[in-house]
Amino acid sequence: MASFSTTLASSMMLTLLLLSFCEAKDIVVGGKTDAWKVPSSESDSLNHWAESSRFRIGDSLVWKYDAQKDSVLQVNKEAYVNCNTTNPIAEHKDGNTKVELDRSGPFYFISGVKGNCEKGEKLVVVVLSTRHRLISPAPSPMEFEGGPAVAPISGASSLKGGLLVVLAVLAWGLF
């Protein structure tokens, strides 16, 4: 039988884990300082990095770069595809740029340095809709109702769902 403290400890860890899923994060583009540059190869590209990362509404992208040498332009899809730096949605050149991902869907960024976007210094980040936040693919309502013992947790109810799971674990440990 699990002791109370063991149960409590594991519950707390579970809660922390769930909170870490829910919490809005600052995500450093490329995972490190000075990643905003012309990539040396395809596998070094920021889009390669972006494909292996998850972005959710409320998260912020953070670019760290030398403000003397580069800038970040948020652009529309057309300007992204054509590397058109003429009329960006927003221009950032402070060397420590933060952009909040305040909606679902794609966000497009290119370098403001002439020629760099063409050489691959560009980034598209796709923010998942709330439906897909924690578990993907999202279960249909049908699956949810008739579904497995562990209920899928989604969107706005994720925190509540997380606490329910913790309570269930506690109850299981105690009785």
Ligand X SMILES: *[C@@H]1O[C@H](CO)[C@@H](O)[C@H](O)[C@H]1NC(C)=O
Strands of the sheet with 26-28, listed across from one edge: 26-28, 60-64, 96-100
Candidates 7, 33, 60, 84: give the one binding ligand X (CB under 6 A).
Answer: 84
Of the candidates 6, 47, 82, 157, which one interacts with ligand X according to CB under 6 A?
82
Which one, 82 or 136, has the nearer CB to ligand X?
Answer: 82
CA distances 53 to 44, 50, 56, 62, 92, Å, are: 14, 5, 10, 14, 23
Q: Does 86 bind ligand X (CB under 6 A)?
A: yes
The verdict on 91 binding ligand X (CB under 6 A) reads no
Judged by phi (left if over 0) then psi (alpha if -120 to 50, else beta), residue 83 lies in: left
Question: 117 or 138, CB closer to ligand X?
Answer: 117
Name the one range near ligand X by CB under 6 A: 31-39, 78-86, 138-146, 154-162: 78-86
Is residue 89 a contact residue for ligand X (CB under 6 A)?
Answer: no
> To the nearest whole angstrom, how small is the minimum distance from the Cβ of residue 75 to ligand X?
9
Which residues fall within 8 angstroms of residue 31, CB to CB, at 6 or more apart?
A: 49
H/E element holding 106? strand 105-111
Size of the site for ligand X (CB under 6 A): 4
Among 6, 47, 87, 136, binds ligand X (CB under 6 A): 87
